[in-house]
Amino acid sequence: MADTIFQLRSLPFFSTHHHHYACRHSRSRIMASSSTSPSLKMTHDGCPKNKIPHVLSVAGSDSGAGAGIQADMKACGAAGVYCSTVLTAVTAQNTVGVQGVHLVPEEFVALQLISVLSDMNVDVVKTGILPSIGTIRVLCEKLKEFPVRALVVDPVMVSTSGDLLASPATMSTYLEELLPMTDIVTPNLKEASAMLGDVKELQTLDDMRSAAKAIHSMGSRYVLIKGGHLKDSADAVDLFFDGERFHELHGPYIDSQNTHGTGCTLASYIAAELAKGCSMLQAVQEAKNFIGKVIVHSKYMVIGSGQQGPLDHLFHLKNHSSGMIKKRFNSDNLLLYAVTDSVMNKKWGRSIVDAVKSAIEGGATIIQLREKEAETRYFLEMAIACMEICRSRDIMLLINDRIDIALACDAHGVHIGQFDMPVMKVRNLLGPSKVIGVSCKTPEQAHQAWMDGADYIGCGGVFSTTTKENNRTIGLEGLKTVCSTSKLPVVAIGGINGSNARSVMEINDPNLKGVAVVSALFDRESILEETHHLKSLLLHS
């Protein structure tokens, strides 16, 4: 039977697989904690209520803080997960290279593992460099003594130059003792080849599939082979294998010298998402999306004089190209999403600026400029003026379709349709700090938008509307279906006004954050009054 290849498919995280440990199997550890903390409340499966997701990184220290333990901690922090550490090695390194390595004695690695695992309710363990047979065996022993929910293995065994960092005996122990306990292993092309005995260089997707199958047969429950440097590929293609099906995860290849620590970061972000309860494939996709954004954001950052710089995991360092600091998208801003219309502005004798100003004064929480008939020069002038107003009121301004206008006026982002430029291309042009919304009618389109790295979706038309001809409506049931499956916040659009806005919000799905309106605001005599009235309805629905 031919192998099946999927772009994306959700997989359950928990299983009865022999090496996969759920929180309920750690009852002795949790009960020991509760005996010292009488006030600690437990859920039905023995886990503490309100537990903070926790990843333990077992890896080496990078003094330059680009990779290793330091990258793991930053990646987990970016994902909103606590990260504790066990050091296996201490390196002296910078952006130029590695100047020295000191291995931590195995006995002390064991002591660190006991200290953390016996006390701190670890959900997921992620490994980096494991430099000796003894270190690997100590880790395996402690994971059996203190079982955790999942084990993520980043097989740091090959240097950037291609040299093998592990002896044959260490490699053998790695494969025979650690891999059968592993939930997911994340080798790059060189590491995958080394794990297979350097049979050949992996150059094609078919090579990656064969390697994934072979590595899976060694015991790891899932395999992710990173093909970022795959020859003859315009995309960065990673291959995920669940033992039955292949999933090709595509992303744009980003040419940047600031890529030090991407492997550590990817594995740690996967671990963090697993700790939060994601399925394995969802965790992998979230990690890939994050890596793409952080590489784009870090592209022009200059730290050190070497050829491989670090990443800005938290998006808080200044971007050299723009001096901008990433502003996180707040989905609550979608509550009353006002979309301007050039025909309506002409009908009522208003400028774009006047319409936007009135909508903001009335309580609009986000503005989209959709000006199909405006000339480019005039549209840009108006967009720049609207940006000044929106900045002064701390309101986000998005541009519909026109990426050139969004770039020229430094808008907060864009909204695109199904037949516009792909999200990943838009992201490459705008960078990670900008917001991207996508129009969707189906769960499949919403899932693709999430997979491609969009920030929200506009779902509709919910009802029939005069602003778009031949626009198929999906009704409240269609909206509810998309919202219930979406991994992104949703704003409903299409024929929504004061008479039906409440019924839209009363589908009561947590992903539905608000409504987008056009004629209900801008085809009225008083935009301010209509906006104020609709805002009041939404707040009380």
Distance CA 238, CA 244 (A): 16
HSE value, Cβ hemisphere, 13 Å, CA-based, for 488: 29
| 36 in catalytic set | no
User: Three-state DSSP class for 260?
Assistant: coil
Strands (E) located in 117-179: 124-127, 150-153
- CATH superfamily for 331-539 is Aldolase class I (3.20.20.70)
The answer, yes or no, to whether residue 18 has pLDDT greater than 50, is no
| 409 in catalytic set | no
Q: Which of 127, 262, 467, 531 is catalytic?
A: 262
Q: Which of 76, 83, 264, 278 is catalytic?
A: 264
| 231 in catalytic set | no
| 64 in catalytic set | no
Q: Which of 64, 128, 228, 261 is catalytic?
A: 261
- Report DSSP letters for 378-445, one per residue: HHHHHHHHHHHHHHHHT-EEEEES-HHHHHHHT-SEEEE-TTSS-HHHHHHHH-TTSEEEEEESSHHH
- Report DSSP letters for 170-183, one per residue: HHHHIIIIIGGG-S
| 478 vs 451, higher pLDDT | 478
The answer, yes or no, to whether residue 48 has pLDDT greater than 50, is yes
| 47 in catalytic set | no
Poorest-pLDDT segment among 6-20, 40-54, 411-425: 6-20
Indicate the domain borders of the chain: 50-315, 331-539
CATH tag for 50-315 (out of 3.40.50.300, 3.40.1190.20, 3.30.70.20, 3.40.50.740): 3.40.1190.20
Q: Which of 91, 259, 265, 467 is catalytic?
A: 259
Per-residue pLDDT tens for 174-219? 999 999 999 999 999 999 999 998 767 888 999 999 999 999 999 9
Global confidence as pTM? 0.60
318 pLDDT tier (thresholds 50, 70, 90) = low
395 pLDDT tier (thresholds 50, 70, 90) = very high
CB count in 10 Å sphere of residue 532: 15
523 pLDDT tier (thresholds 50, 70, 90) = very high
Per-residue pLDDT tens for 129-158? 999 999 999 999 999 999 999 999 999 876
Distance CA 133, CA 384 (A): 62
List, in order, residues 6 or more apart from 346 with CB less than 8 Å away.
none
Residue 326: per-residue pLDDT: 43
Poorest-pLDDT segment among 114-118, 468-472, 504-508: 468-472
Q: Which of 263, 460, 461, 494 is catalytic?
A: 263
43 pLDDT tier (thresholds 50, 70, 90) = very low
Residue 199: per-residue pLDDT: 66
User: Three-state DSSP class for 339?
Assistant: strand
| 226 in catalytic set | yes
The answer, yes or no, to whether residue 504 has pLDDT greater than 90, is yes
Q: Which of 226, 288, 357, 513 is catalytic?
A: 226
Distance CA 383, CA 342 (A): 13
- Report DSSP letters for 273-301, one per residue: HHHTT--HHHHHHHHHHHHHHHHHHHTT-
Poorest-pLDDT segment among 116-120, 122-126, 426-430, 469-473: 469-473
40 pLDDT tier (thresholds 50, 70, 90) = very low
